[in-house]
Amino acid sequence: MPKAFVLINTEIGSESDVLKDLRKIEGVEEAFAVYGVYDIIAKVGAESMDKLKEIVTWRIRRLDKVRSTLTMIIVEETSK
C-alpha cells in the first residue's frame, strides 16, 4: 500500500480550515498543523500509486486556501 507525507503551505490564517478539509478526504490517515517552513503535514495512503497520485493532485492540491505542496513518497515504513 503506497503512502506519502504531504507538506502543505496554506494562505495565512487558514491552517485550521485546511486541516478540517483534509481530515474529510478519504486516504488522509493523519494531518497535523506544524510550525516551520510548512503549515500542515498529512500522511496519505492508498491502494495503488495511481490512487495516491489522484488524492494528492485532485483532492489535496485543489483545496481552497492551499498555496503549495511537497509530496514525499514513503519507501520504507517500520513500526514499534
pLDDT tens-digit map of 21-52 = 999 999 999 999 999 999 999 999 999 999 99
In a domain, 61, yes or no: yes
What's the pLDDT at 53?
Answer: 97
In a domain, 79, yes or no: no
Give how many domains the chain has, as a whole number: 1
In a domain, 14, yes or no: yes
pLDDT tens sequence across 64-74: 999 999 999 99
At 50, phi and psi to the nearest 5? -65, -40
What's the pLDDT at 78?
Answer: 83
Residues 58-64, mean pLDDT to the nearest whole number: 97
pTM equals 0.93
Domain that holds residue 17: 3-73
Whole-number Å distance between alpha carbons of 49 and 14: 29
The gap between the terminal CA atoms of the chain, to the nearest Å, is: 19
